[in-house]
Amino acid sequence: MNIINDIKEAFNKANIVEKIIYINVFLFLITVLSVAFKSNFIIQWFALPTNFESFLYKPWTLISYAFIHERLLHILSNLLILYYIGNLFLDFFTKKQFLNFYFLGAIIGGIAFLTYNYFTVKNGAPLGGASAAVSTIFVAIATKIPRYAIQLRFIGSVELWVLAAIWVSMSILQLTNPDNGGAIAHLSGALFGFIYANQLQKGNDIGKWFENIINYFTNFIKPKKNSPLKTVYKSKGRYSKNDVSIPKQRKIDLILDKISKSGYESLTQEEKDFLFRAGKN
């Protein structure tokens, strides 16, 4: 019981990236156990089928497939990238935007997979894995801060856009495989990440509708509590909580612009410290 309590406590303390990772690991273990007992239940009901008619009977697979992995190497590669890149993503985007990118990237990848198989009459394996969602996150943050340098052991400093290009190139190479529907999904997720990040920089949040849907169901499910009486103090002038964050956000935007143009190393130590503190809030 202590182990279960420790896991629950770790999950509750985790940030949104780590929670997504925990869910993927948990479902991977369930999938491995089901295969060990010679059951195909998890793959049959939660992976995305190649046949569109089968999908109509299991529409939830358009999202659930992004949490289903069969191979250890597959989940390791996805979750290692998601851990490092996802946490970097949270330094420049909000938690809700992370969920928008992740789930919409998975949905776009799934739709591309279904469409491709429908028109090419493919009968390959069902789609499973977080690669499309991870590709969305990876390309989005590389679009936001392409010159951000990451220190890699035995290699040195590598800019983020180079790493993202290598990641996408691996999916392009997979197009040569006979069963290449998965590569189509990955590349579609990557393209969506690029478009979404670009639109955000222009002030257009094309994933806001998805966030609104999540908020609606979250508020609907959440039990209503009787709000306690509050003491209201009058002030001489109008005050808004958001007023405090405006100068801070402006400074963050200026620092991000500087990174985009000249790279992370061009920042002063004060700017680095400020960006680090802002990412922790």
pLDDT per position as a tens digit, 194-241 = 999 999 999 999 988 888 888 888 777 766 555 454 444 444 444 344
Query: What secondary structure, in 3-state letters, does 31-53 show?
Result: HHHHHHCCCCHHHHHHCECCCHH
Domain closes at, from 219, 247, 265:
219
- Note whether residue 157 is domain-resident: yes
Q: Is the pLDDT of residue 192 over 90?
A: yes
- Note whether residue 7 is domain-resident: no
pLDDT per position as a tens digit, 30-56 = 999 988 888 888 999 999 999 888 999
Domain closes at, from 188, 219, 250:
219
Nearest to 48 by CA among 167, 34, 56, 105: 56
Q: Residues 182, 254: one domain?
A: no
pTM: 0.77
- Note whether residue 97 is domain-resident: yes
What would the mean pLDDT of 157-177 be, rounded to a whole number? Answer: 93
Q: Residues 208, 247: one domain?
A: no
Q: Residues 195, 117: one domain?
A: yes
- Note whether residue 229 is domain-resident: no
Banded model confidence at residue 155, pLDDT cuts 50, 70, 90: confident
- Note whether residue 2 is domain-resident: no
Domain limits at 68?
A: 12-219
What would the mean pLDDT of 249-268 be, rounded to a whole number? Answer: 75
Cβ atoms of 210 and 192 within 8 Å: the answer is no
Domain count of the chain?
2
Q: Residues 138, 255: one domain?
A: no
CATH number of the domain encompassing residue 121: 1.20.1540.10
pLDDT at 100: 95
pLDDT at 215: 84
Cβ atoms of 263 and 149 within 8 Å: the answer is yes
- Note whether residue 93 is domain-resident: yes
Q: Is the pLDDT of residue 21 over 90?
A: yes
